[in-house]
Amino acid sequence: MRGFIDQIFVNAKQQILSLVAGAPDWLGQIVSSLLNITALLVVFLTLFALASVWERKILARIQNRLGPNRVGPFGLLQPAADGIKMLIKEDIVPARADKVVHFLAPILIAATAVLALGVIPYGRNMTPFAIDGGILFFFAVGSTTEVSVFMAGWGSNNKFSMLGAMRAIAQMVSYELPLIITVLPVVMVVGSLTPDAIVAAQGGYSFGVLPHWFVFTPWGAVAFILFFVSGLVESNRTPFDVPEGESEIVAGHMTEYSGFKYATFFLAEYFGMFAVSGMAITLFLGGWHAPLPFLEFVPSYAWFFAKLGVLIFVFIWIRGTLPRIRVDQVMNFAWKFMLPMAFACVIAAALWHYQGRRWAGALWSLGWLVLVYMALTRFLDAGRKFAPRTYRYAE
Amino acid sequence: MSSVAFIVIAILTLAAALAAATLPKLIHAALCFALSFVGVAAFYFLLGAEFVGLVQIFVYVGAVAVLIVFTILLTRHDVEKDHGFNWSGVAVTLAVFAGLIWAVLKSGNLAPTAAPVAPLTVKQIGELLMTDYVWPLQCVGVLLTAALIGALVLVLEEKR
C-alpha cells in the first residue's frame, strides 16, 4: 500500500505508455516526454497560482494587514481573478521598441525557467528528465536567463529598462560563481553529477534520528546558506532586487511590459524560485527523503513539496523583513565574501572527507570554516571608515 | 529519427549563423550568434557527447554571448552605418573552409562503418582530467587566473 501510493504517478505513466506499446520507438519517447512536460507544467502552474496568493497573504500578515480575502474562500481564487485581469489588459508595445526582441524576451525567460525544473528529482523514480549531468544541465540552462533579461532591457528601448538589465546581468554573473562553487563540495563528496545519485547518497539516519542530509555537516550548512543567498540573487528577489528597484528605476527590465507579458516575467521569477529551492533541497536537504525514519510512510513527493513550501516561505519571509541592498554593496558582497567562503566550503568538504566523514572530520571542517569567516570579516572591515555619508549634489 | 533531427538542427544552426553574419543591427546579430551556439550544443547532444554539449551552453551561451552583449551595451553606437560589403571577410571564410575541407579529405578514417564508440560519461572525463591530463588542466587554470588578475589590475589602474 505504501509503495503503491508512493509510486502512483510513476505507475500511471507506465499505464499510459503501455497503450502505445506497439507503436514505433520514437512515438513512445515523444509520448513519454509529453507526459512529463504536461505533469511538470500542471503542477508548477498550480503551485505558481498558490504561491502568489500565499506570498500576498504572508506579506500582508508581516505588515499587519489581512491581505486578499474577497475572491473565493480565504481569497484562494485571487490568482484566477489576477489571471483574467492580466489577459484582458491592453498589450502595449512602445513605438520605438525593437518589436521582435521585445516579444521574444518573456517567452525565452519562461521557457528556460521551465527547462531548469526538469532535472530535479521530485520523488522516488520521479525525475522528469534524468540525464547523467543533471546538475550541470540545471546551471547551464540557468545561465541563459541573462540573455533573456538583456533582450527585455534592450528590446524595450527605455533607459530604465536598460539600467535594470545591466544591473541584473551584473549581479547574476557575479552570483553565479558562488552558486556553482557551493555545489562543488556536494558533487565531490557524492562523486556524481546526477541529481538522483546525490539524493540517494543522503538516505539513511545516524542513531536512528539524524538524517544524513548534507545540511547537517558543517560544510553543508555553510554551503546551503551561501547557495540560498545566491539563489535569492539569481531569482532577483528582495533584498537583492536592485534590477527592478521600483524606487529608482520603475521596474527595471520589465518597465515596458504590460498585461500578459508582464505576468510571464512574474511567472518566470516564481519558476526560478521553485527551481533554486528544488535544487537546494536536492543538494542539501535530502531531496525527497523523510526527516525521521518513522515518517517514511508518507509518500516521497509529499516530502519534497513540503520542503519546497518551507523554502518558499523563507523566500517570502526574507522579502517581508529585509530592505533592499544598494547596488555596489551587492557586488562587493559577492566578490569579497561569498566567493572566498564558497572556496572555503570546498576545502572544508575535503577535510571532512579525509578525516573519515565522522566527528573528527566535522570538527576539522568547522574549525576551518570559522577561521576563514573570522579572517574575512576581520580583514574586509580593516581600514574602512564608518562615517555619515556625505552627499555632494543632493543636499 | 536522428537523421531528421540532424537536418532540422543543421538548418536552424546554419540559418542562425547566416543571420548573425548578415543582419544590419549588431544586437540582432549577437543574439542570432547565441542561437547558433545552442544549435551546436544540440549537435553534441545528438552525438551522445552530453558533457561537451552542456559545457557548450554554459560557456558559449551563458558566458561568451553575455560578454558580447555586454560589450555592445557599454560601447553603444546609435548610428548604424552601412559599412559596405567586406571582401576580406569572404577571403578569410574561404581560406578557413578550404583548410577544413582539405583536412577532412586528408583524414582517411571516414568509413561509414566505423565501430561505434561508447559515449564517455562525465565521471570518466573527470577521471581522465585528474590523471592523464592533469598538467594541461593545471596550465589552463594558471592561465585563466592570470587573465583574471590582469583584468583586475587594468581596472585598478583606471581608478587611480
Neighbours of A294 (CB within 10 A): 8
Q: What percent of chain A has pLDDT over 70?
A: 95
More confident residue, A23 or A195: A195
Q: Tell whether B69 is within 8 A of chain A (Cβ).
A: yes
Q: How many residues does chain B have?
A: 160
pLDDT score at A227: 92
3-state secondary structure (DSSP) of residue A211 = strand
Cβ A112 vs Cβ A274: under 8 Å:
no
Of A177-191, A201-215, A366-380, the poorest mean pLDDT is in A201-215
**According to the model, what pLDDT value does residue B118 have?**
65
Interface contact flag, B123 A191, Cβ < 8 Å: yes
Which chain B residues touch A137 with a CB distance below 8 Å? Answer: 54
For residue A188, the cross-strand partners are none
DSSP label at residue A242: G
Q: Determine, for residues B28 and A101 on separate chains, whether the beta-carbon distance falls below 8 Å.
A: yes
How distant is the Cα of A99 from the closest Cα of chain B, in angstroms? 12
Q: How many CB atoms within 10 Å of residue A171? A: 23
Whole-angstrom distance, CA of residue A376 vs CA of residue A207: 36
Peptide bond into A239 cis (omega under 30): yes
Q: Is B68 on the interface with A (CB under 8 A)?
A: no
Grid coordinates representing A342? 564558497
Task: Collect all residues of chain A within an 8 Å Cβ-Cβ radius of residue B152.
Answer: none
- Residue A158, min C-alpha distance to chain B (Å): 13
Element (H, E) at B36: helix B26-46
Choose from A112, A144, A169, A181 for mutation: most chain B CBs within 10 A: A144
pLDDT by residue (tens digit) across A133-177?
A: 788 888 888 888 888 888 888 888 888 888 888 888 888 888 888
What is the per-residue pLDDT for B143? 95
What is the Cα–Cα distance from A341 to A229, expressed in whole angstroms?
12
Structural contact between residues A199 and A121, judged by C-beta atoms closer than 8 angstroms? yes
pLDDT average, residue stretch B100-128: 73
Whether residue B122 lies within 8 A of chain A, CB to CB, comes out as yes
Whether residue A217 contacts residue A378, with contact meaning beta carbons closer than 8 Å, is answered with: no
- Section A91-109 average pLDDT: 85
In the prediction, which pLDDT does A313 show? 92
CB within 8 Å: B70 and A169: yes
End-to-end CA distance of chain A: 72
Stated as kind and residue range, the H or E segment containing A266 is: helix A259-283
Interchain CB distance below 8 Å, A147 and B54: no
- Per CB-CB distance under 8 Å, the chain A contacts of B33 are none
Provide the terminal-to-terminal Cα distance of chain B, rounded to the nearest Å.
60
The predicted structure's pLDDT at residue A94: 83
Phi-psi region of A129 (alpha: psi -120 to 50; beta: other; left: phi over 0): beta
**Cβ neighbours of A380 (radius 10 Å):** 14
The 10 Å Cβ neighbour count of residue A5 is 14
Q: Are A256 and A283 in contact (CB under 8 A)?
A: no
In which band, very low, low, confident or very high, does the pLDDT at B95 lie, cut at 50, 70 and 90? very high
B73 touches chain A (CB under 8 A): yes
Taking a C-beta distance cutoff of 8 angstroms, is the pair A47, A274 a contact? yes
**What pLDDT is recorded for position B58?**
84
Count of CB pairs separated by less than 8 Å, A with B? 68
| Confidence band, pLDDT 50/70/90 cuts, at residue A355 | confident
Number of other CB atoms surrounding residue B72 within 10 Å: 17
Helix, strand or coil, per DSSP, at residue A131: coil
Q: Which of A129, A154, A188 should be substituted to probe chain B, the one whose Cβ sees the most B Cβ atoms within 10 Å? A: A154
A41 pLDDT above the threshold of 80: yes
- Tell whether the torsion through CA atoms of B53, A36, A148 and A269 is positive or negative: negative
Residues of B in contact with A143 (CB under 8 A): 57-58, 61-63, 66
| Mean pLDDT, chain A, integer | 83
Evaluate if residue B111 carries a pLDDT over 70. Answer: no
| Nearest CB to B58 within list A139, A146, A191 | A139
* pLDDT average, residue stretch A57-85: 85
Q: Does B115 touch chain A (CB under 8 A)?
A: no
pLDDT bucket at A5, cuts 50 / 70 / 90: confident
Residue B54 at interface with chain A, using a CB cutoff of 8 Å? yes
C-alpha distance from residue A266 to each of A13, A122, A173, A328, A359 (Å): 31, 23, 21, 25, 45
Q: Please tell me the predicted confidence (pLDDT) of residue B141.
A: 92
Of B54, B73, B122, the CB nearest to A166: B73
Name the closest residue on chain B to residue A100, using Cα atoms.
B28
Distance from CA of B147 to the nearest CA of A (A): 16
pLDDT of A26 > 80? The answer is no
Res. A2: pLDDT tops 80: no
Residues of A with CB under 8 A from a CB of B: 25-26, 98, 100-101, 131-133, 136-137, 139-141, 143-144, 146-147, 150-151, 154, 162, 166, 169, 173, 176, 191-193
Other CB atoms within a 10 A radius of the CB of residue A112 amount to 23
Residue B18's pLDDT is 87
pLDDT at B99: 93
For A187, the closest chain B residue by CA position comes to B123
Please indicate if any CB of chain A lies within 8 Å of the CB of B51: yes
Beta partners for A211?
A205
> From CA A263, how far away is CA A280, in angstroms rounded?
26
In contact, A183 and A135? CB cutoff 8 Å: yes
Model pTM above 0.90? no
Name the residue of chain B whose CA is nearest to A190's CA: B123
β partners of residue A206 = A210
Binary contact (A144, B73; C-beta < 8 A): no
Q: Residue B68: its chain A contacts at CB < 8 A?
A: none
Sign, Cα dihedral of B65, B66, B70, B76: positive
A309/chain B closest Cα distance in angstroms? 29
For residue A287, pLDDT beyond 70: yes
CA distances, A124 to each of A7, A248, B141 (Å) = 7, 46, 39
Strands (E), A163-316: 205-206, 210-211
CA-based R_g, chain A, Å:
23
DSSP letters, A91-103, are ----TTS-HHHHH
Q: What residues of chain B lie within 8 A of the CB of A136, using their CB?
A: 51, 54-55, 58, 122
How confident is residue B110, by pLDDT bands cut at 50, 70 and 90? low
Residues of A within 8 A of B62 (CB-CB) are 140, 143-144, 146, 176
Instruction: Provide the pLDDT for residue A113.
Output: 86
Instruction: For residues A346 and A373, give the distance between their C-alpha atoms in angstroms, rounded to a whole number.
Output: 14
Instruction: Give the cell for residue A184.
Output: 562543488
Percent of chain B exceeding pLDDT 90 equals: 12
Distance from CA of B36 to the nearest CA of A (A): 14
Is the pLDDT reported for residue A189 higher than 90? no
Please, are residues A286 and A296 in contact by the beta-carbon 8 Å criterion?
no
Judge: A98–B65 Cβ closer than 8 Å, yes or no: no
Q: Which residue has the higher pLDDT, A22 or A211?
A: A211
Cβ–Cβ under 8 Å, residues A139 and A179: yes
CB-CB under 8 Å, B27 with A26: no
Q: CA–CA separation, A315 vs A312, rounded Å?
A: 5
Nearest Cβ partner of B54 from A140, A151, A176? A140
CB A133 within 8 A of CB B51: yes
* pLDDT at residue number B76: 62
> What is the mean predicted confidence (pLDDT) over A61-74?
84
Q: Does B15 touch chain A (CB under 8 A)?
A: no
What does the pLDDT look like over A227-282, one tens digit per residue?
A: 999 988 888 877 877 777 777 777 778 888 888 888 888 888 899 899 999 999 99
User: Which residues of A fall within a CB distance of 8 Å from B28?
Assistant: 100-101
- pLDDT digit string (tens) for B38-88? 899 888 888 877 888 888 888 888 888 888 887 877 776 655 566 666 788
